[in-house]
Amino acid sequence: MIFQILILLLVVGLAMFLANEGLYSAVIMALCAIFSAAIAFNFYEPVAGLLTGSIPEHAHAAALAGLFLVPMIVLRILADKLLPGMVHFPYWADRAFGPSPGRSPG
């Protein structure tokens, strides 16, 4: 039960952080998460088979988590390096889908 509460707090905290970052950063993060999840779900069973000898109880969870986190970190670093920063959307789009209401436009 405590683990579920910690995971819920982690998800809520991440959502609040991304809500303050704006629409552009949130879209990049969502795309990175989609690609990382596709990679993780596609390859976790063979990797879990390799991990069964060392950690049989947690092989599937460790393979799935590792195969999600590593591409997610790599994709986010690549996105930060290769994509332009400070992209401004129209005021109505950034207000509706991006940062918190207290931020000023511009």
Enter the DSSP assignment of 84: P
| Look-up of token digits 């998460």 | 33
pLDDT tens digits along 46-60: 999 998 888 888 888
Confidence of residue 40 (pLDDT cuts 50, 70, 90): very high
Domain extent listing, the chain: 2-97
pLDDT of residue 77: 93
pLDDT of residue 98: 60
pLDDT of residue 94: 67
Helix (H, G, I), strand (E, B) or coil at 37: helix
Pick from 32, 30, 24, 37: which is nearest to 93 by CA? 24
Counting every residue written for the chain, the total comes to 106
CA 44 – CA 62 distance, rounded (Å): 9
102 has a pLDDT exceeding 60 = no
What is the mean pLDDT of the segment spanning 79-104?
Answer: 70
- Look up the pTM and report it: 0.70
